[in-house]
A and B are shown apart, each in its own frame.
Chain A
Amino acid sequence: MIIEMREFTRVEGNGKAEIVIEDGEVKDVRLQIIEGPRFFELLTLGRHYYDVPDIEARICAICYLSHSVASVIGIERAFGVEVPEEITLLRELGLIGEFLESHSLHLYLLVAPDVFGYPDAIRMATKHGELVKEGLALKAFGNRLRVIVGGREIHGINVKPGGFGRYPTVEELEEIERESEALLRLARRAVRLFAQLGPYGAKAKHFVATDGYLWGEKLISDEPGEFHYTERIEERSLVYSFAKQSLYKGEAFFVGALPRLLLKSEMLTPTAKRLFEEHREKLSTGYVSYNNLAQAIELVYSLEKANEIAKTLLDRGIEGENVPVEPREGEGIGYVEAPRGLLIHHYRTDASGNISYSNIITPTALNHAMIEASLLKEARELYGEVDEGRMIGRLEETVRAFDPCISCSVHLVKL
């Protein structure tokens, strides 16, 4: 017998799951990403490098900037281009904007209704209007950063190989400094709220993240040594899903806010680090549901970090100079921490700067096996114990904890 979950709600994109029951027991769970394939790697093949980050941005609206930045870094590495600190700081500022926008969307509009027992945030707003407003304020600030750095709230084209179309003004940096300080109070409140969610889903055995907090040169995991993804991560196609599944040394693994905190807590900002220590015991159990709490702590991190970056840039002043980019034959990988987790853009380029190979692996594809493992564990615990409606409700919450971004999961290619 197969229990079919209807399409997930309050997640981005189209997915569902099937629970396979045999002899009265849960035998298997299949996560089906039914969003159609979008073939981004084919789309960028042969295209001139300059146009590629703007196309890649379209992979996902919630984390468009992570895609443009990963793409830009991959291209720069292929060409051997190095950018100065000013440019990396600004890219980080954009990525922080995306953390704020994405985490607050997820926590306040998609997860909070579970905490308070509502079908959505709009209906929740009648009783908890303040909270919804706080979430929207954080989100709006995140989007403001995406406008300033990325050019638009969604799919801006300002992030380019070698620099930016336009650099922020002093007024904008002052605004960021001010706002990030003012909003910190709300983020701290979010930590208290989402610390209430209990453990569910599987306990992750492996975690993977980039070696820097927001992006990196290489990857790290719970095992020693830095590595390139090709050394430990493998992808496979599934007949029941448009997303491929990735495995770390043959096993399910977890990318996202919780893995970032667990692997990189020493890189956190002061208050975020304190909050992490406060909840460390809980978080270290590795239950996927604690990803929500980890995201709340990252809201604090993001605001503190944005403040710090704005101050640094105001002190040194902005030069606004792009680095010249000379195309050449090469190969490069961009590793970025999208809000939902690790994002990989891997390119080869020809001598005139056109893309000759492209591989993109997104967080949802990396987490695919982990989501299935979590659903399996929950379904085994709940099947026969509670009625089917409640079981499915909990399974949906389990999927939601990953904050899966489904549109971005459907275009993985090895050519």
Chain B
Amino acid sequence: MMDKLKLGVFELTDCGGCALNILFLYEKLFDLLEFYEITEFHMATSLSEGNHYDVALVTGTVSTQRDLNLLKEARNHSEYLIALGTCATHGSVQGSVELPIREKLKAVYGDGGNPMRALDSKPVVEYVAVDFALPGCPYDKEEVYQVLMDIAKGIEPVRKDYPVCLECKLNEYECVLVKKGLPCLGPITYGGCKAVCVRSGLGCIGCRGPLPGEVNPASEYEILKGLGYDDEYIVRKFKTFARWEP
């Protein structure tokens, strides 16, 4: 039998969701384990035996010196590195606090300086080159399964390049922007989540990050203005998950 690929999961600063989502694959996780051997995943195992990874999944933002060291280690020891989740690809929520780190620390912890070496939260893609970026807060678990299977079979995974809107159309969900006047970022957000929030009758909050290319944030801006939302509201809404762009 062919040797299994070595898989490492590295968690920087985040909510744990993107790592947890791997465990939520349930029996599909066991399918993956036909091809992969997990050699680093500290949420799930006390073993840590890797010094070389065929695939490294990195979740979270770089928010401390420790995170940065860990990221570099993951990059230096892996063949194929995936920035997994919106924290890693766009900074997600913690990346959107715009104050300099010193002021943030002061507001939260008082005048203790920075003994633990906190950094301003930035996505993984700001520091190292990644082989694949899979956004989502969290990403859809079917997607990571597909990507890992593709890699195991020697196929380069494809990045989705359509907005959430398309998924609403495919699932025949009523457009909440047009029908209910709810603020929905679906038109300018990376699809791939099956428009699950619109399924609940709510507007997309943009958790998969902005879709680059031909889509036009300006027109979305105009629509929201038309619905009566003010500038600051719209700007903050746009930046909730993505102050940094990959």
- Residues of A in contact with B (beta carbons under 8 Å apart): 7-14, 32, 34-43, 46-48, 51, 54-55, 58-62, 64, 105, 109, 113, 119-123, 136, 140, 143, 151-158, 160, 164-166, 237, 239-242, 244, 396, 405, 407-408, 410-413, 415
Interface residues of B in 1-46 (CB under 8 A from A): 11-18, 20-21, 23-24, 26, 33, 38, 42-46
Interface string of B95-137 (1 = CB under 8 A from A): 0110100001101111010011011010000000000000001
Which B residues touch A47, using CB under 8 A? 236
25 A-B pairs, CB-CB below 8 angstroms?
A8-B42, A10-B43, A13-B11, A34-B64, A34-B66, A37-B104, A37-B105, A37-B108, A38-B121, A40-B94, A42-B104, A43-B94, A46-B236, A55-B93, A55-B240, A58-B15, A120-B46, A122-B44, A123-B45, A143-B24, A151-B197, A151-B199, A154-B21, A158-B200, A411-B108
B interface residues (Cβ-Cβ under 8 A, vs A): 11-18, 20-21, 23-24, 26, 33, 38, 42-48, 61, 63-64, 66-67, 92-94, 96-97, 99, 104-105, 107-110, 112, 115-116, 118-119, 121, 137-138, 141, 196-197, 199-202, 205, 207, 233, 236-237, 240
Q: How far is the CA of A376 from the CA of B104 in the complex (A)?
A: 32
A54 to B48, CA, bound (A): 34
The smallest beta-carbon distance between B117 and chain A, in angstroms, is 9
Given known pairs A36-B67, A60-B16, A237-B112, the reply for A12 and B94 (CB within 8 Å) is: no
Query: Known contacts A166-B199, A242-B116: does B108 contact A413 (CB below 8 Å)?
Result: yes
Task: Please judge, given known A-B contacts A34-B66, A37-B63, A151-B197, whether A240 and B116 are in contact too, CB under 8 Å.
Answer: yes
Q: Out of B12, B15, B17, B97, name the residue touching A42 (CB < 8 Å).
A: B97
How far does the Cβ of A131 sit from chain B's closest Cβ, in whole Å? 15
List chain B residues, Cβ under 8 A from A60: 15-16
Let me know if B94 and A39 touch, CB within 8 A: yes
Given contacts A121-B44, A242-B118, A407-B14, contact A39 B108 (CB under 8 A): yes
Contact residues in B for A36 (Cβ distance below 8 Å): 12-13, 61, 63-64, 66-67, 94, 118-119, 121
- Chain B residues positioned under 8 Å from A415 (CB to CB): 107
CB-CB under 8 A from A411, the residues of chain B are 108
